[in-house]
Structure 1
Amino acid sequence: MRIDKYLWCVRYFKTRNIATTACKKGHVKVNNSIVKPSREIYPSDQITVRKNQVNYQLTVNDIPPNRVGAKLIDIYRTDTTPKEEFEAQELLKYSKDYYRKKGEGRPTKKDRRDIDDYLDDTNTNE
């Protein structure tokens, strides 16, 4: 089975087109080598998928006949992703809390006045 189809079948990607794009961009490795979407995979292959800044690592147990339900995924793959990968993702969430939320755009006039007042207060205290 093709690698893009396999990743779609075991629900790592929502569509097969997204899986194909990830392969073309070099986000998918089989046995530590970057592969094309048409690469055939076999049981016991080691796959690394970079998705959402996490390197998922999995081992192919069997080839599914078609897309499988979420409860049946573990029959066809073994997830060997280290816990450190997920911990790094949690740290990224906390680091983003200090910035403006997405879509808020430039500071408003009120935000600008608050910033100026804060800077004036810190300069007079020195």
Structure 2
Amino acid sequence: MAEKEKLRIDKYLWAIRIFKTRTLASDACKAGRVKLAGQNIKPSHEVKLNEVYNISKGPERKVIMVTGLLEMRVDAKTAVNYYEDQTPVEDRAGFQSMFQAPQLRRDRGAGRPTKRDRREIDDLQQDFFEKNTNSEHSDE
């Protein structure tokens, strides 16, 4: 695709599909959710090869290294070639486990849970999260 020597960070993050729109990428930069070497950067910051950026996007944290400059937005398979994801494994696992939490459901018409029911639900959820965090760290 078209490569350029000067490229803004907001346009780059949009082109590699980190953010859905360029406006969201620009707003993230202004809010301090995009950092270079621990320093907040402006949306107009020029991207250079081999720079490492820390990006916070809601509960998700990403660490990416620039491997190529991409001016226009392309499909996801092509966009992966222009950056290297260096996010630590424990950050990725933490974000994914949030979506794998047990979904507790009560029968329709069962009413509100009693104090005893609430304690049982809390114990089940606590056991699930303790078991997952212990199993993730036992592999090391």
Q: Confirm or deny a common fold (TM above 0.5).
A: yes
Structure 1, unpaired ranges of 5+: 101-108, 120-126
Scaled by the length of structure 2, what TM-score is found? 0.66
> Structure 1: how far apart are the matches of 2:103 and 2:10?
35
How far 1:12 moved relative to its partner? 0.3
Distance 1:66 1:94, change over 3 A: closer
Determine the structure 1 residue equivalent to 2:89. Answer: 83
SS at structure 2 position matched to 1:93: coil
How many percent identity over aligned positions?
33
Alignment of 1:51-62 (within 5 A): 51-62=57-68
Counterpart position of 1:105: none
Q: Does the Cα contact within 8 Å between 2:67 and 2:84 map onto a contact in 1?
A: yes
- Per-residue Cα deviation, 1:26-65 (whole angstroms, up to 9, x for no partner): 1101232111111111111111111131210111011113
Summarize the Cα distance change of 1:94–1:12 in structure 2 as closer, same or farther, 3 Å threshold. Answer: same
Q: Where has structure 1 moved over 2 Å in runs of 4 or more? A: 90-98, 109-112, 114-119
| 1:117–1:78 CA distance, 2 compared to 1 (3 A) | closer
Larger gyration radius, structure 1 or structure 2 = 1
1:12 aligns with 2:18: yes
How far apart are the structure 2 equivalents of 1:117 and 1:81? 41
- Partner Cα separation in structure 2 for residue 51 and residue 69 of structure 1: 20
After TM superposition, the structure 1 = structure 2 runs for residues 85-100 of structure 1, keeping only pairs within 5 Å, are 85-94=91-100, 97=103
Q: Cα–Cα, structure 1 residues 96 and 54, in superposed 2: closer, same or farther, change >3 Å?
A: farther
In 2, the alpha carbon distance for the partners of 1:64 and 1:54 equals 23
- TM-score of the superposed pair, with normalisation by structure 1: 0.73
CA RMSD of aligned residues (A): 2.6
Q: How many angstroms apart in 2 are the aligned matches of 1:64 and 1:84?
A: 29
State the distance in 1 between where 2:100 and 2:80 align.
31
**CA 17–96 in structure 1, closer or farther in 2 if over 3 Å, else same:** farther
The whole-number CA distance in structure 2 between the counterparts of 1:53 and 1:117 is 32
Task: Within 5 Å, give how 1:99-110 maps onto structure 2.
Answer: none
